[in-house]
Structures are given as structure tokens and as C-alpha cells.
Amino acid sequence: MATGILKGKRGIISGALNEQSIAWKVAEEAHAEGATFVLTNAPVAMRMGEINGLAEATGASIIPADATKDEDLDALFTGAAEKLGGPVDFVLHSIGMSPNVRKGRSYDDLNYEWYKQTLDVSAMSLHRMLQAAHKRNALNEGASVVALSYIAAQRVFPDYGDMADAKALLESIARSWGYRLGKENKVRVNTVSQSPTITTAGAGIKGFDGFFGFAQEMSPLGNAPAIDCARFCIALFSDLTRFVTMQNLYHDGGFSSTGVTPEVMAKFVQEG
């Protein structure tokens, strides 16, 4: 299927933790499409070691960076330019974590220190990344930035907790930077709002099976798998989408536009 659509492009891919990670699939697809890139993740995630195998398979270098630390992000963009031989053409932000969700704190009983961490790790980190990149002129003209989001930014999914607020902030940050970077250097910034996907982050949400099953039956195409999300990201990194920016793009099999389906209705219809 690969056509070399990213041949000659350089990038940074965050968030590949294990084979299930959406970012892992993006890295494999980007490699197959001819890109060279740096992989990054939080230093604690490095301890699991799985990322080394991905780096070997894709010829990527690894630069650890905690996405909530400006000094780490400065080092990431400086190091990536050195390793790749110039500014980058694409950046994937695939980072999310809520201590409140992880520890089962409901929306009416949030720990506010954890709430700040949720917003910092899952949303402000996109701002920090782009500010670090901008200050270092680390993005090539026409570069493409993609961050992964979820429809809880627009609609209430009660068990998604404070991550919903983080995703709403993430999407707003993408628009705000998209305007500035587009004017300045034709850089595009978009969010991709993905179907529920079985990954470490996904499975951390209470009642994830229910989320997944409901979305499956509410989507004419069914839930979008991680590999297809990766391919959509590749399309956004490519030159075929040079005028797509400041958008939240649903990659969800049609879920976001569907009111009801016979499969879901059937669960409520009384026989006789």
C-alpha cells in the first residue's frame, strides 16, 4: 500500500508506548512511506523499553522528553534538527493522561492538583511543543502538526471525566497556533478525533468496553482501527492536504454524525 508519500520528510512522533499505541502505528506507516523521524516519550515510559524495538525497526533516533517540561522540549527540537539534518516537516502529538481518571475520581470529586496535571500533560503540552518549536524555527515551511483528540470535547461522556476538558483545550490550542503558524510559515495544525481504540490510555477509562461497543453500533463504518488512524495522520502530514488547517477532523466511522442506528434502537424496542 505504501507509495512513498512522505519521502524526504523529517518528523517527530510522540507517544509510542507499546504496539497498541496509535503513535506506534503512525511511526510504522511513516517509515513505510519514506519519512525519517525522531521518536519521543516521557522518560518514565522509556523504562518499559519497548520503544527501542520500534526505533530499530524504523531507523529512528529516540529523544526522551517529558511534554510538561519546557527544557525537555527545547532539547527535543534542537536534538531532532541535529539528528535529522534540519527543521521538521511533521509533528505528532499523541499524549494523554489523567490522574483523576486513572484513580477513579469522578467529575464531581476531582483532585485539583491532578486536574492541573491532566490539562498540562494532555493539552498544554501541545502549546509547549509548538512554542518550543516556534522559538527555535524548528518547523519547515508547510509543516503539518497533528494532535489526537476525542469527541468528549464536544459531547458529554460521563466517565471520560476531566479528560473531556483537556481535549476541548487541546482543540482550541490547535486552532490558536494554527492561525499564527499558518500566517507565518504556512504550517498546518489539526486535531484528529479518533474512535475509541484499545490502547493503554483507552483501557484506563472506566467502562471502556461499553464506550467501545456503543460507538461500534453507532458508526455506519464501525470503529476506526488504530492503523487507519495512522494512515489518516500520514495523509495530513503529506503535501496532499496543504490547505487543511485549524480543523478538528473526525476519524470515527461516522459516529459523530449519526443520531441512532437500528442496532442501538433494538435494545430499547419492547416486543409485542
Ligand X SMILES: NC(=O)c1ccc[n+]([C@@H]2O[C@H](COP(=O)([O-])OP(=O)(O)OC[C@H]3O[C@@H](n4cnc5c(N)ncnc54)[C@H](O)[C@@H]3O)[C@@H](O)[C@H]2O)c1
150 is catalytic: yes
C-beta of 239: minimal distance to ligand X in Å? 25
Task: Indicate whether 161 belongs to the interface with ligand X (CB under 6 A).
Answer: no
- Residues within window 204-263 making contact with ligand X, judged by CB under 6 A: none
Q: Say what the alpha-carbon torsion angle 113, 119, 124, 125 is, to the nearest 10 degrees.
A: 90
Single out the segment in contact with ligand X by CB under 6 A; choices: 15-23, 52-60, 213-221, 234-242.
15-23
Single out the segment in contact with ligand X by CB under 6 A; choices: 65-73, 175-183, 235-243, 261-269.
65-73
Among 67, 119, 126, 145, binds ligand X (CB under 6 A): 67
Among 144, 199, 219, 245, binds ligand X (CB under 6 A): 199
Given the C-alpha cell 506507516, which residue does it identify?
Answer: 29
Residue 42 or 84: the one with the smaller Cβ distance to ligand X is 42
Task: Indicate whether 42 belongs to the interface with ligand X (CB under 6 A).
Answer: yes
- Residues within window 77-136 making contact with ligand X, judged by CB under 6 A: 94-97, 121
From the candidates 107, 112, 160, 250, which is the catalytic residue? 160
107 is catalytic: no
Looking at the annotation, which residues are catalytic? 150, 160
Please report, as ranges, the residues that interact with ligand X according to CB under 6 A: 14-15, 17, 21-23, 41-42, 45, 66-68, 94-97, 121, 148-150, 194, 196-197, 199-202
